[in-house]
Structure 1
């Protein structure tokens, strides 16, 4: 063996590097065990005690190697990163609102054609997906065919990159694309800065297709807080207020005018007159005179009654003193906003806007007592001549620093320091508004509206609001990180509780352990001492995978563990190819050293080819997949490289060492030494018979597919809300017990209930509120589901009904459409890629055609089995991302088996022969490889069956796909792919003869 010393040195260095990287995981595990022991002795909340231990000691060294030491938090950054399905936590997908960006480029033009085009584009994106800029331009052309799109953006020339009246459509397209992509990049930077400032451990933030940003936060225990952190636009504004002071009650007067209009007691003010007022002060003076003139009539009980019973009066509870003029129920806030958009109010609202408190009034407690936490404060804010705030971060960054400080009246507040330019403007504003209210508004919600006592120089201000420490720190971090350049909304989210995460870890480790034991047993029982050497190589393979994974910082997920298990099978597979080749050489009477050299030499091409086909599928999935599919792909790609390294180098090194020591290695036992050696089945002669074996299964499944209206699709392909609900096992509820209640309380939505594992767990899927991406509606959906099931015996903790939800997953319609379309494209691309690879590798269209037809056969057969078993087996058989990941793996594995057979056929056909000899040579090649084809498939079959039995419900559909794929892939490589090659050859011969 050449370069043996180099390989030994490299292997030692690689092993040390992996051991070093994995040592950090051991140290953090040890420290966390101590924290759990400390928390278990606490009489208070154990979760708080655990976090307190981590926070207090996390910055002290726990790992000292003499020349360097590492704290817990430093070790945590270097350990094997567990995905949220194993560790618990949350994942959100943010979608940047491209429609708002485009409106902003036109200076938020009121152009109706623009608004219609944006609305139509949003609708198309929800239903079909695609490129937003192209869709917008096409929508505008359909809505306004006689208008030039460049004209929309000329007014906003300062923002729209120099679009002129004569700009072409392609120029507009390029500039809009540049602006939207730039905004997405800036949103990514701001979100990343916010997450880093919040000290979240091992976050994963990445840009994905469609202008979306994926944020994965393992281990977080407050999902709502994290949603606020990433979704908040952080648009900070300062407004003058229509409030009621001891000197002036202009807030009540303003509200009274609106109520009179609502009660038809006063004619609406002339909008044009209101808009043409030279100053806001002038308008207030005129309005005050009107209000004074009507004071006497307003006092009459009849008119007061009419105002109270008017559409506006029914929504509001007037408040006579303070910065806000009324209280309103949470459910009525949108009604009020919509009502004030009525043209009859525009005279009064031309220079005003309505806003609500950030928290319910009872929580704010600004000097008034309220009885309900369901009521919010109503503010009427004054707009300047341009319809904006007197000071805003919309145009520029106005905050240089922000921090959480103790408040003057107790509690916490957020202290802000302004930039020099903003500080100068702030001094001017406060100087002209003495004894008046100034509202501090963040993302359209009023946090506080204090009275200006004196002119404020130096640019200092505070936001109060009865914050807790986390709220104050998060708000300060958001302000420091800056405003999002465009609104970003959560269009998909997943939350996994720590309980379910630990269950996934247990299942994953069990499946990995049992899979390893099963493969170990098979290799030893079939290959004797050589089997032990293969096991050492496989163990090294797993060790390298985890070491590289830890070094890359990639997250280990449950599908990732499935990838490790599959890699174990593939690593053994490579050893099987080598061992079978060595056995062939030994049967020909060659010495062990010669057989070893020739065995590795002849097995090399089959191993490389078969692994490259799987690598092609894994790479496509890794660079274009997301979520669990991405985690699986990363492990698969790492595993392929480590399998090649361990099988071609480590196995060879160990076998060579035994030969050099004068020891012979047994590659089997007497009972299997000549197993399947003398088989001479006529595969070529009976080839057409096998073409029809699979046909009945595919035809029956096709009929069922049409009758059922397609396959059952997972939530990531159709959109919806999914919840894992824990009920009392002793109650023995069935699926119907939950579904009846959901259908009753969630009318108009599609509801599904499926069992999830055992012990009273159910998976609830509903489309309730799925078309809304607002935070309020997301929370309302989960509350409504729990409310529907409140009469059932749910397992809850600390009297919190939300703890009955072990995990939740939400996928919006836009994301579902995009994921579904992309997944289908991935499968097609992988299939085409395999076809092109075979043409390149074998330089023969017949071989490529045989491989392609066998591949299509395998895909159709697996789809057929899925359709036949859907609703029959007690676990989900859904068309989702896990299914696509399994299908892409199947594509690679099917080609892997086919390449092994083709490689031997090519070897046989390389020798001199006549056309008449080809069928016999092909038959001989297939029969010769039959033993290794079956054994290689059997090793992979063992590990995927182990995965099916021990991997848990969430991986059953995935692993069953692989089980069927291994069986049908082995069958097609022998009975479909090779006969097709023969058919192509015979038809070509006939054509040439004619």
Structure 2
């Protein structure tokens, strides 16, 4: 191998970078363990609400030392930002897909028109969306076009006052459509910005929000979120844009003095009480004061003033500034009923709100809005018709906005009042003040205004976005959700780590057993490979999921396969009588083609999964693709460095042990001679599979049919049949099956699947709780039963909801993913081997494998003791089976092509048989190691991926069989038919 020095330097540097990236995870985990130990030491488990108290104590501990150096200038906050992200299935939390109602947006653009054609088209679009993959707006336009003489630019529809600047009644439907599409996209972008800002302030680490194409769907992932109902409410409530008059800072000076004195008295009274358990915050403070210096909290002599960073300027709208971390405590003080009792006159209705903060801000500004008895703003955001980021007359960044007629009049009144009283108007979105401009040039008429301030371009654009969000009250419905409780997440981590460790140890031992010292070098390369994978995941900020761990463990098999291919070729070169140096060189060179072909085909299926998959499946695809790349590097270069280095010392290196030397050598099995027997065997399996698929079908999960499913754990083993009977009586239809242990079941129901909203989710969970109360402890409350509420060991551990429209989309996408992978692989093999016979043989084998895996699931799902639903994870398994089967097949095809070139005098049958015989050792070795890995995950990897692993196990067995007994015989027979046609044509030409 040339350039060994460069490879060494690169490997060492890359390894150090990976260790550095993973060090953040190690540091963050250690600090969090210290916080957990501190909380457990200070708060005993026999205290009431000890879980909540411990969580608060942990968080206060982490907040107090977050900015302190842990090692080499790295703080906990820095480490937390850069640690390896864990997905919902490992950390708990919520994952939802929100559908922004395009129907509501269209209605708002049309001023809620009563036009019959418009409303008829909406109704038709509603109906079609249930069975179509098209966007709602396209369905609406299609339905509208089918209505005779219907015109989008009608004054009663889109040629209204609000859109008069862009749409006039002379425009054709085709001219109006792009304007409406742009308006809808702007509205969805605005909704996205609102949601992003809401999520940013929610306080979870590593949130993820992204738009899904142009369908109006938004994916939101909040790992670690526990207040599930609050999250759902936050995500689904429409944006509340409001305009309020604000008080001046000097109007509240006396109130702050009085409030601070009252709070001092209240604190003094609490300190006199012996029972501190009733005041959780005081208890935490007391406990933290007894900790070491790094967590010490100073005693507050003036509860309110000690938290104040700076009072507001005289006559300005800002009452005071406080540290961002203290805003919750300030809210608690100011909303105390006794403190609010100090307010008199109109100030009794004052609303205290905070100013907008960014990620880097350390302080927040406090405002007081001039409320009223009805708690309604003088002007709401529904009057805004447009807003955009602009520049004022002196070049400063500004935001201009336009209101409708009603809003223009109210705005004129508000600005007149603000001008006369030299006060400000607060622009408030979701109870956050984004801007509080003054009025310097008299009342503003016409409804067009400009907001200036110390904005950056981005801030100006953001403010314009949130202003536009108020003009379209489009609902955001949760059409798919997954909620995982923290206990289930921790169990997934434990089972994932165990399965990973067991699989790794078994593979390392097998390589040493089979290849001796060379196996040790392969093992070192494998460990380096794993380091690279985790380092790259951490560096990219990718999310590690349980299927992702499965992808990494599967990568172990891929990495082993590359080394097995190399070692088997070296053994063949040894058998030809070559010297060790030459045998190693030629073995690596000859194996390279097979390694690349095998990994590229697997990589193509991984790429399809990455593009079309979502959530955990994307995590699986990410780790698989990274693993393929690192496996190639470590097998080809790292293993080679060790082998060459060992040989340079003059030491002899056998690529076998006394027990495996000569194993599978000189085989002479006539595989093609038995092909008709295996055609019959395969035909029987396929017929049985098809028969079961047409009669019994498949157990389709909620991913494909819609519905809700709940994983529920009990203290004692339960009878799922009896539970199912109880639930059917409540819901009309329900399915209950044991899921993992005998004390855990999975409940699936389609009850009210077409209805959206948090209240429906709560209703169903309440019905579940009522139906199952006889199986639950008497003291278990509904709150403790619900998912996400603390680290419980019983109750709902996980919930999944998929609406019927998105279920249909998932099913369609899955079908296209499988068909697309078959097409891509057919074309790749055709391009690589230049003969369609190879492509045909490979695709036939893959279809054979897929049908049999589907058949096995159809035949056994009713009695298997684990979940065998057909869902997105199963489709990922099918595509992985496709990749593995092709991996095996391509290695054999590569040898066949090689034998065709090396032995032109041989018959095709002899060359193909010899090629298969020469790869038997590699095929069995790779299959055995991969099966060992998969079995380890299947047994120890957790219930949630057991069905996924079972599909892979069946697929590996069937794929190994088909590569030898289906793909190769089909290729041979098509070669024969081509030759027979050529001979017949030559014979006809000779006779002629």
What's the C-alpha RMSD, in Å, of the aligned pairs? 3.3
**1:123-179 CA deviation, whole Å, 9 max, x = no partner?**
33233433323222222234x234234447542475498345454554444333333
Which of 564, 568, 580 is equivalent to 1:576?
Answer: 564
Residue 946 in structure 1 maps to residue 936 in structure 2? yes
Counterpart-to-counterpart distance in 1, 2:212 and 2:519: 43
Instruction: Report what 2:734 is aligned to.
Output: 751
User: What SS does the aligned partner of 1:233 have?
Assistant: coil
Contact 1:193 1:481 in 2 (8 A): no
Counterpart-to-counterpart distance in 1, 2:783 and 2:663: 63
User: What SS does the aligned partner of 1:790 have?
Assistant: helix
Counterpart-to-counterpart distance in 2, 1:24 and 1:414: 42
Shift of 1:577: 0.5
TM-score w.r.t. the length of structure 1 is: 0.76
Contact 2:477 2:757 in 1 (8 A): yes
Counterpart-to-counterpart distance in 2, 1:845 and 1:683: 22
Counterparts of 1:183-194 in structure 2, within 5 Å, are: 183-194=187-198
**1:276-304 CA deviation, whole Å, 9 max, x = no partner?**
xxxxxxxxxxxxxxxxxxxxxxxxxxxxx
Which of 941, 948, 951 is equivalent to 1:958?
Answer: 948
Structure 2 vs 1, CA of residues 671 and 408 (structure 1 numbering), >3 Å: closer, same or farther? closer
Structure 2 vs 1, CA of residues 699 and 435 (structure 1 numbering), >3 Å: closer, same or farther? closer
Residue 788 in structure 1 maps to residue 771 in structure 2? yes
Instruction: Report what 1:974 is aligned to.
Output: 964
Instruction: Report what 1:223 is aligned to.
Output: 228
Instruction: Report what 2:699 is aligned to.
Output: 712
Counterpart-to-counterpart distance in 1, 2:893 and 2:68: 53
User: What SS does the aligned partner of 1:672 have?
Assistant: coil
Instruction: Report what 1:725 is aligned to.
Output: 712
Instruction: Report what 1:928 is aligned to.
Output: 918
Structure 2 vs 1, CA of residues 842 and 817 (structure 1 numbering), >3 Å: closer, same or farther? same
Residue 127 in structure 1 maps to residue 131 in structure 2? yes
Counterpart-to-counterpart distance in 1, 2:118 and 2:9: 67
Shift of 1:239: 12
Structure 2 vs 1, CA of residues 228 and 983 (structure 1 numbering), >3 Å: closer, same or farther? same
Counterpart-to-counterpart distance in 1, 2:210 and 2:917: 49
Residue 736 in structure 1 maps to residue 721 in structure 2? yes
Which of 91, 97, 117 is equivalent to 1:113?
Answer: 117
Shift of 1:949: 1.0
Counterparts of 1:129-528 in structure 2, within 5 Å, are: 129-142=133-146, 144-151=147-154, 153-156=157-160, 158-159=162-163, 162-165=166-169, 167-209=171-213, 210-236=215-241, 405=331, 406-407=334-335, 409-410=337-338, 415=352, 438=376, 458-459=423-424, 483=469, 486-528=474-516
Structure 2 vs 1, CA of residues 437 and 621 (structure 1 numbering), >3 Å: closer, same or farther? closer
**1:724-743 CA deviation, whole Å, 9 max, x = no partner?**
112122xx321022111111
Structure 2 vs 1, CA of residues 923 and 113 (structure 1 numbering), >3 Å: closer, same or farther? same
Shift of 1:790: 1.7
Structure 2 vs 1, CA of residues 801 and 436 (structure 1 numbering), >3 Å: closer, same or farther? closer
User: What SS does the aligned partner of 2:593 have?
Assistant: helix
Shift of 1:120: 2.8
Shift of 1:70: 3.2
Structure 2 vs 1, CA of residues 197 and 969 (structure 1 numbering), >3 Å: closer, same or farther? same
Which of 890, 898, 901 is equivalent to 1:899?
Answer: 890
Deviates more, 1:540-549 or 1:36-45: 36-45
Counterparts of 1:573-972 in structure 2, within 5 Å, are: 573-708=561-696, 710-729=697-716, 732-747=717-732, 750-794=733-777, 800-803=783-786, 804-911=795-902, 913=904, 917-972=907-962
Structure 2 vs 1, CA of residues 104 and 694 (structure 1 numbering), >3 Å: closer, same or farther? same
Shift of 1:925: 1.0
**1:327-351 CA deviation, whole Å, 9 max, x = no partner?**
xxxxxxxxxxxxxxxxxxxxxxxxx
Contact 1:105 1:160 in 2 (8 A): no
Counterpart-to-counterpart distance in 2, 1:490 and 1:436: 31
Count of matched residue pairs? 801
Contact 1:90 1:216 in 2 (8 A): yes
User: What SS does the aligned partner of 2:681 have?
Assistant: coil
Structure 2 vs 1, CA of residues 796 and 694 (structure 1 numbering), >3 Å: closer, same or farther? farther
Structure 2 vs 1, CA of residues 690 and 178 (structure 1 numbering), >3 Å: closer, same or farther? farther
Deviates more, 1:795-804 or 1:68-77: 795-804
User: What SS does the aligned partner of 1:494 have?
Assistant: strand
Structure 2 vs 1, CA of residues 853 and 83 (structure 1 numbering), >3 Å: closer, same or farther? same
Residue ranges of structure 2 left out of the alignment (5+ in a row): 246-320, 341-349, 357-368, 383-413, 436-458, 787-794, 986-992
Structure 2 vs 1, CA of residues 159 and 524 (structure 1 numbering), >3 Å: closer, same or farther? farther
Contact 2:67 2:77 in 1 (8 A): no
Counterpart-to-counterpart distance in 1, 2:819 and 2:165: 39
Counterparts of 1:61-140 in structure 2, within 5 Å, are: 64=69, 69-140=73-144
Shift of 1:823: 1.0
Deviates more, 1:160-169 or 1:810-819: 160-169
User: What SS does the aligned partner of 1:692 have?
Assistant: helix
Shift of 1:762: 1.0
Counterpart-to-counterpart distance in 2, 1:705 and 1:21: 48
Shift of 1:84: 1.0
Instruction: Report what 1:362 is aligned to.
Output: none
Instruction: Report what 2:529 is aligned to.
Output: 541
Instruction: Report what 1:371 is aligned to.
Output: none
Counterpart-to-counterpart distance in 1, 2:157 and 2:654: 79
Contact 2:159 2:169 in 1 (8 A): no
Structure 2 vs 1, CA of residues 509 and 912 (structure 1 numbering), >3 Å: closer, same or farther? closer
Counterpart-to-counterpart distance in 1, 2:354 and 2:515: 73
Contact 1:59 1:72 in 2 (8 A): no
Instruction: Report what 1:274 is aligned to.
Output: none
Contact 2:606 2:625 in 1 (8 A): yes
Shift of 1:611: 0.6
Contact 2:754 2:804 in 1 (8 A): yes
User: What SS does the aligned partner of 2:43 have?
Assistant: coil
Counterpart-to-counterpart distance in 2, 1:31 and 1:588: 59
Structure 2 vs 1, CA of residues 798 and 108 (structure 1 numbering), >3 Å: closer, same or farther? closer
Shift of 1:508: 0.6
Counterpart-to-counterpart distance in 2, 1:511 and 1:475: 50
Shift of 1:63: 7.2
Structure 2 vs 1, CA of residues 775 and 162 (structure 1 numbering), >3 Å: closer, same or farther? same
**1:931-978 CA deviation, whole Å, 9 max, x = no partner?**
111111211111111111111221111111111111111111111111
Structure 2 vs 1, CA of residues 719 and 459 (structure 1 numbering), >3 Å: closer, same or farther? farther
Contact 2:709 2:746 in 1 (8 A): yes
Structure 2 vs 1, CA of residues 31 and 577 (structure 1 numbering), >3 Å: closer, same or farther? same
Contact 2:354 2:433 in 1 (8 A): no
Contact 1:415 1:461 in 2 (8 A): no
Counterpart-to-counterpart distance in 2, 1:172 and 1:38: 64
Shift of 1:660: 1.6
Contact 1:507 1:950 in 2 (8 A): yes
User: What SS does the aligned partner of 1:58 have?
Assistant: helix
Residue 987 in structure 1 maps to residue 977 in structure 2? yes
Shift of 1:987: 1.4
Contact 1:415 1:463 in 2 (8 A): no
